[in-house]
Amino acid sequence: MFLSHLIGDGREKLRKETYMHCALCYCMISYELSPSICENFIIDRNMIIANAGDCRAVLGRRGRAIEMSKDQKPNCISERLRIEKLGGVVYDGYLNGQLSVSRALGDWHMKGPKGSACPLSAEPELQEILLTEDDEFLIMGCDGLWDVMSNQGAVTMARKELMIHNDPQRCSRELVREALKRNSCDNLTVIVVCFSPDPPSRIEIPPSRVRRSISAESLTLLKGVLEC
């Protein structure tokens, strides 16, 4: 699930309270599931990503992929330490041998009474960045996308498509179709958020004394394909 908000002012308390409010509403309709959730808040030119689970947000900055969230897996060192400190165990990469994520909504059978310590947390990790003129779009996707496509590969493909039709919804569908072609077998939800009504511009490289045999865009595309 992905939610995008445009709000005028606020800081840490507002961010977490808004996230938890949205998360609670989602939990009410997904009772026993273990959904991951990634939210995007924009305050002026500050963008905050709140993530709980293995969804991922990747920023496209003039063709370059910038990872804006971390996949919260039980075998991650920081998450493993938190889990074990709260009495949980990580077995074969799974939290208590059951879940492949260390933070998620739902899964009430694994959570104790409200306020009690629990290895499975719904509290998000926050990451903030100041958007610049070079920041063109944000890709938010479930693990089904990232299982078969690299961050750079997704950004390269999205930028190429947006330059053609400048339709973020169509771009989202094309990323899903590409993941299916690559035999993705996990959840597949993708949202592309553009920061400008104009399509991404061509990348211009200053004149050089060195003769080039490949354009800058082709070089970026090739790099994305090789990293997929």
- What percent of the chain clears pLDDT 90, i.e. is strictly above it? 34
Average pLDDT over residues 9-19: 49
Give the pLDDT of residue 3: 36
Most confident of 38-47, 86-95, 187-196: 187-196
Sequential DSSP letters for the chain? -EEEEEESS--HHHHHHHHHHHHHHHHHHSTT----EEEEEEETTEEEEEEESS-EEEEEETTEEEE-S----TTSHHHHHHHHHTT--EETTEETTTBS-SB-S--GGG--STTS--SSB-PPEEEEEE--TTEEEEEEE-HHHHTTS-HHHHHHHHHHHHHHH--HHHHHHHHHHHHHHTT--S---EEEEESSSSPPPP------SSPPSS-HHHHHHHHHHHH-
Most confident of 40-44, 73-77, 186-190: 186-190
Give the pLDDT of residue 28: 34
Q: Does 114 have pLDDT greater than 90? A: no
Per-residue pLDDT tens over the stretch 147-162: 999 999 999 999 999 9
- Please, what are the domains in the chain? 2-227 (3.60.40.10)
Residue 115 or 119, more confident:
119
